[in-house]
């Protein structure tokens, strides 16, 4: 009878404990690269959608089949958002984790080239309007929630690098950065930040 009580009920408990123990995190440079990739992907998506909105506003026709067009537009926007924002972030945090630095440098180079190209064309066109601060804060909050969801759901699988998980005692990982990012994201939209007096 005593032999039965000595055995753990879950034989994989020791393996699970070893899997989640002794986590020291990753380097600050890798965390900086990861935190550069996420906003870069969001910025590229926003820029591409802004160009598409301008093209669509020029091509507007009658209001025929407006409901059908709205449904198709929202579904296509959802698919494009998934393919250009969610999927790259998911790949960077799992399969492409070894190429984090290369991906970060590539995205920064693409954004820099785009900015230089737009500046060279800006002297030909009138001054363009800047995006609103509210849209930028919303994009930041969406990226924080997206990275948090990906990290929380993927951390229990072997495809998610263990160095990205929360550090046990000392060190830092991308999940440690997520805690502070949530605080900042919620502080940006707090009553005090929006100058709303309490009721």
pLDDT tens for 17-76 read 666 666 777 888 988 998 899 889 988 888 877 655 544 544 444 454 555 678 888 888
At 124 the pLDDT is 56
Is residue 155 a part of any domain in this protein?
yes
Closest Cα partner for 84 from 151, 37, 118, 116?
Answer: 37
Report field, pTM of the whole predicted structure over 0.75: no
Write out the two tokens for 45.
């998506």
Domain-embedded: residue 76 = yes
pLDDT bucket at 199, cuts 50 / 70 / 90? low
Domain enclosing residue 102, as ranges: 69-128
Q: Which residues 6+ apart lie within 8 Å of 191 measured at CB? A: 197, 198
Is 117 a domain residue?
yes
| Rounded distance between C-alpha atoms, residue 131 and residue 96, angstroms | 31
What is the average pLDDT across 159-165? 84
Residue 4 lies in a domain: no
Q: Across residues 106-131, what is the average pLDDT?
A: 76
Structure tokens at 36: 């550069």
pLDDT at 107: 92
User: Is residue 108 over pLDDT 90?
Assistant: yes
Looking at per-residue pLDDT, the higher value among 46 and 99 belongs to 99
Token digits of residue 73? 């537009």
What's the total number of domains in the chain? 2
Give me the pLDDT at residue 28, please. Answer: 86
Question: 146 vs 7, which has greater pLDDT?
Answer: 146
Q: Quick one: 123 and 133 in the same domain? A: no
3-class SS at 167?
A: coil
Nearest to 85 by CA among 130, 47, 57: 47
Looking at residue 131, what is its pLDDT?
62
Co-location of 124 and 141 in the same domain: no
Residue 176's pLDDT is 78
């Amino acid at each position: 009878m005593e032999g039965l009580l000595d055995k753990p009920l879950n034989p994989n408990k020791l393996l699970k404990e070893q899997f989640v123990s002794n986590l020291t995190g990753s380097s600050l440079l890798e965390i900086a690269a990861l935190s550069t990739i996420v906003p870069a992907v969001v910025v590229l998506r926003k820029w591409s959608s802004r160009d598409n909105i301008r093209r669509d506003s020029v091509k507007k026709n009658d209001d025929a089949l407006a409901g059908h067009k709205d449904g198709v537009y929202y579904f296509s926007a959802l698919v494009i958002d998934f393919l250009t924002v969610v999927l790259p972030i998911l790949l960077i945090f799992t399969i492409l984790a070894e190429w984090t630095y290369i991906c970060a440098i590539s995205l920064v180079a693409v954004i820099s080239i785009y900015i230089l190209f737009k500046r060279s064309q800006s002297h030909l066109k009138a001054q363009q309007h800047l995006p609103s601060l509210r849209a930028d804060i919303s994009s930041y909050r969406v990226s924080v929630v997206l990275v948090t969801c990906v990290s929380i759901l993927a951390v229990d699988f072997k495809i998610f690098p263990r160095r990205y998980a929360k550090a046990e005692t000392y060190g830092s990982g991308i999940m440690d950065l997520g805690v502070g990012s949530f605080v900042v994201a919620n502080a940006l939209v707090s009553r005090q930040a929006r100058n709303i007096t309490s009721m």
